[in-house]
Structure 1
Amino acid sequence: MYVCICNAVTTRHIAEARAQGADSLRALRERLGVGNCCGKCCLDAHNLLRQQQAQPPCGAAACPS
């Protein structure tokens, strides 16, 4: 599912960034551009990152789309 329409960032992109060490909204912004345009995605991206941090990292087959 798309989280950031402006930069075409999906939940899978955020999961992959988290697996590579992104641990904050700032890190997502630097890696993926989340929140750089309109900013409407910031809260959703932040919440998704927190949810994923509460779970163990997923394998490629188990990551959300």
Structure 2
Amino acid sequence: MIVCVCKAISDRQLRASMQAGHDTFEALQFEHGVATCCGRCEESVHEVLAGREIGCSRAERAGDRAQAVPMMFHARAA
């Protein structure tokens, strides 16, 4: 999955760099330029560093299941 759109860096590329010894945010930032343009990928880079899956909601990471919200439909008066 693409983590940094600005630099076209994927999570696989980040993990490969981590295995090569670039195991800090600053090292990945220097190596790939992540979070140097718009900065929107910074949280995702930290998730990759922590070994978590990226792109899922906080509730999914916590193991919570989304609850269905009951919907009610009302007939319009003619």
Give yes or no for TM over 0.5: yes
Name the Cα RMSD after superposition: 1.1
Return the TM-score normalized by structure 1.
Answer: 0.75
Structure 1, unmatched stretches of 5+, are: 53-65
For residue 47 of structure 1, report the CA deviation from its aligned partner. 1.1
* Corresponding residue for residue 31 of structure 2: 31
| Structure with a larger share of its residues in helix | 1
Q: Which runs of 4+ in 1 moved over 4 A?
A: none
Deviation string, structure 1 residues 20-53 (Cα, Å, up to 9, x no partner): 101111111000111010000001111111117x
Quick one: higher RCO (CA 8 Å, sep 6+), 1 or 2? 1
In the superposition, the TM-score normalised over structure 2's length comes to 0.63
Larger Rg: 2
